[in-house]
Amino acid sequence: MIQKNSKAKEMHQVELMIGQILRIGVIVSAVVIVLGILLMVIQGNGGYPNGVQPEGFVAIAKGVVAFKPYAVIMLGLFLLILTPTLRVVVSIYAFAVEKDRLYVWITTVVLIILVIASIIGYFEH
Amino acid sequence: MIYSLLLMLGVGMLAGVFGAILGIGGGMIITPVLTLGLGLDIKYAIGASIIAVIATSSGSTIAYLKDEMLNLRVAMFLEIATTVGAVIGAVLTGLVHPTFLYFLFGALLVFTTYNMIRKLMMKNEDAQDVTADRLATKLNLNGTYYDKALKKQVDYQVQNVPGGFTMMFGAGLASGLLGIGSGAFKVLAMDTIMHMPLKPSSATSNLMMGVTAAASAMVYFFNGSIKAGIAAPLAIGILLGALIGTRIMQHLKPRLIRMIFVPVMLYLGIQMIMKGFGVTI
């Protein structure tokens, strides 16, 4: 009974940790997006001619270094897209702590599908 | 430019509040507003909408997790179906005519509304006597949550896992194709098909929407469908709105949530069908 209680307590700790990690992920991406919007307001445009925006990691990275509003926003949006993926990764750890092997596998399958999705997305363009 | 940023922020906030309360991703609200209301190209509306779906999900999942209304096992198991569906949907986007999908969508939404009304007519809607099927027990899907409105711990069982799984594949497919969270279908799969109570269904659906949307968002992000100037203020608005909506949600009774749900679903359903026939309201 005592052991069961301590396990439940541990799970509760893990769930709180997941919440914290997620919150940090959402806040970081939101801050980056807001920063990009502020840059856009200050500079009066997206930093690229004729509404064009950076595509791909290299173009976005170059734009971020040059403080181009659209590039900063795209980075923030990409971080936001990564947040649910992070949620899946941390859940694998949570199930491992609970020693639930079935769900470690199930969640790993979900992560693999997500990775395949990003690869398809990258090459479809 | 500042006007358009503020407009998007406002649209996002409204979609965030309603999305969180109803357990729908905000995408169902955003796409009609952006295309019918503001005349934006559907391609960019879909791109902005998928970002909004993720923002809604991430914003409210945090709050739900603390209240332990979320059923993580149900979410992860069913996500195998939704993510596979989303990947196939995202790949099919260019091949299938959207008209057909709008129509299919509208019909399903109207059917869901009918289902919701039928439930509202029944007495003791929350005292569902559900026996878990063998698959649900084997997969450890049955759960428990603390209901703030009822002020007690509610244990629940889950039924018809294959039916829910199949519905989730369809929900993922729709999500990938139209850039929506298809939260209504996810709630339908859990609440109506698997007989999970509405609150854990909504909370679990919110988490699943984010993961499903992340799969298709990768495609939209890299193929240039996501426009920074539109998606960014929408995302911020949605995040703020979702936080507010989640707080309101916890203090509502299921019956009230359903009563809000019914006209919204019916309206969206009719609108989708009209769009399928090429009529804009």
Question: Per-residue DSSP letters for B201-232?
Answer: HHHHHHHHHHHHHHHHHHHHHHTT---HHHHH
ipTM: 0.84
Q: Confirm or reject contact between A118 and chain B (CB < 8 A).
A: yes
Helix or strand holding residue B154 (H, E): strand B152-156
Total domains in chain A come to: 1
pTM to 2 decimal places? 0.81
Task: Retrieve residue A57's tokens.
Answer: 């990691």
Question: Using the beta-carbon criterion (under 8 Å), do B223 and A100 form an inter-chain contact?
Answer: no
Identify the burial level of A13 via C-beta atoms within 10 angstroms of its C-beta, where 0-12 means exposed, 13-18 middle and 19 or more buried: exposed
Structural domain spans, chain B: 2-276
Q: Rounded CA gap, B182 and B171, in Å?
A: 6
Which comes out higher in pLDDT, residue A76 or A17? A76
Q: Catalogue the E-assigned strands of chain A.
A: none
Question: Using the beta-carbon criterion (under 8 Å), do A30 and B232 form an inter-chain contact?
Answer: no
Pick the closest to residue B15 from B2, B7, B3, B25 (CA basis). Answer: B25
Q: Which residue has the tokens 């991430």?
A: B58
Least confident range of B125-139, B171-185, B211-225:
B125-139
Closest Cα of chain A to B259: distance in Å?
30
Least confident range of A12-26, A68-82, A94-108, B166-180:
A12-26
What pLDDT shows up at residue A24?
87
Alpha-carbon radius of gyration of chain A: 19
Q: What mean pLDDT comes out for the span B84-110?
A: 74
What pLDDT shows up at residue B115?
65
Estimate to the nearest angstrom the gap between the alpha carbon of B11 and the chain centroid. 17
What pLDDT shows up at residue B172?
93
Which DSSP state fits B26? S
What pLDDT shows up at residue B69?
77
Estimate to the nearest angstrom the gap between the alpha carbon of B68 and the chain centroid. 19
Instruction: Please work out, in degrees rounded to the nearest 5, the angle formed at the alpha carbon of residue B210 by the alpha carbons of B207 and B213.
Output: 145
Mean pLDDT of chain B: 79
Question: Using the beta-carbon criterion (under 8 Å), do A117 and B86 form an inter-chain contact?
Answer: yes
Q: What mean pLDDT comes out for the span A112-120?
A: 84
Q: Confirm or reject contact between A22 and chain B (CB < 8 A).
A: yes
Task: Retrieve residue B145's tokens.
Answer: 């949550």
Estimate to the nearest angstrom the gap between the alpha carbon of B245 and the chain centroid. 14
Question: Using the beta-carbon criterion (under 8 Å), do B57 and A84 form an inter-chain contact?
Answer: yes
**Torsion (CA) B29, B34, B35, B38 in degrees, nearest 10:** 130
Q: Which residue has the tokens 């357990």?
A: B23
**Is the pLDDT at B99 greater than 80, yes or no?**
no
49-88 of A, contacting B, C-beta below 8 A:
51, 53, 55-56, 69-70, 73-74, 76-78, 80-85, 87-88
Residue B66, C-beta contacts closer than 8 angstroms, at least 6 positions apart: A16, A19
Helix or strand holding residue B144 (H, E): strand B143-147
Q: Which of A104, A113, A123 to mutate to test binding with chain B, by most B CBs within 10 Å of its CB?
A: A113
Question: Using the beta-carbon criterion (under 8 Å), do A113 and B51 form an inter-chain contact?
Answer: no
Residue B56, C-beta contacts closer than 8 angstroms, at least 6 positions apart: B15, B16, B19, B20, B25, B26, B181, B206, B209, B210, B238, B241, B242
**Domain extent for A82:** 2-124
Question: Using the beta-carbon criterion (under 8 Å), do B222 and A94 form an inter-chain contact?
Answer: no
Question: Using the beta-carbon criterion (under 8 Å), do B222 and A56 form an inter-chain contact?
Answer: yes
**Is the pLDDT at B123 greater than 60, yes or no?**
no
Which comes out higher in pLDDT, residue B237 or B1? B237
Name which of A73, A106, A117 is nearest B87 (Cβ-Cβ): A117
What pLDDT shows up at residue B141?
86
Q: What mean pLDDT comes out for the span B44-60?
A: 79
Q: Rounded CA gap, B207 and B59, in Å?
A: 10
> What phi and psi, each to the nearest 5 degrees, are found at residue B218?
-60, -45
Residue A101, C-beta contacts closer than 8 angstroms, at least 6 positions apart: none
- Residues B219, A124 contacting (CB under 8 angstroms): yes
Least confident range of A79-88, B201-210, B247-256:
B247-256
Task: Retrieve residue B62's tokens.
Answer: 């945090």
CB count within 10 Å of CB B68 equals: 17
What pLDDT shows up at residue A4?
52
Chain A, chain B: beta-carbon pairs less than 8 Å apart = 160
Name which of B58, B79, B211 is nearest A26 (Cβ-Cβ): B58
Confidence of residue B61 (pLDDT cuts 50, 70, 90): low
What pLDDT shows up at residue B104?
65
Q: What mean pLDDT comes out for the span B29-55?
A: 77
Instruction: Please work out, in degrees rounded to the nearest 5, the angle formed at the alpha carbon of residue B64 by the alpha carbons of B136 and B238.
Output: 120
Residues in chain A: 125
**Is the pLDDT at A33 greater than 90, yes or no?**
yes
Confidence of residue A1 (pLDDT cuts 50, 70, 90): very low
Q: Confirm or reject contact between A105 and chain B (CB < 8 A).
A: no
Q: Which of B58, B69, B74, B204 to mutate to test binding with chain A, by most A CBs within 10 Å of its CB?
A: B58
pLDDT tens-digit readout, B189-207: 898 889 888 888 877 887 8
**Is the pLDDT at A80 greater than 70, yes or no?**
yes
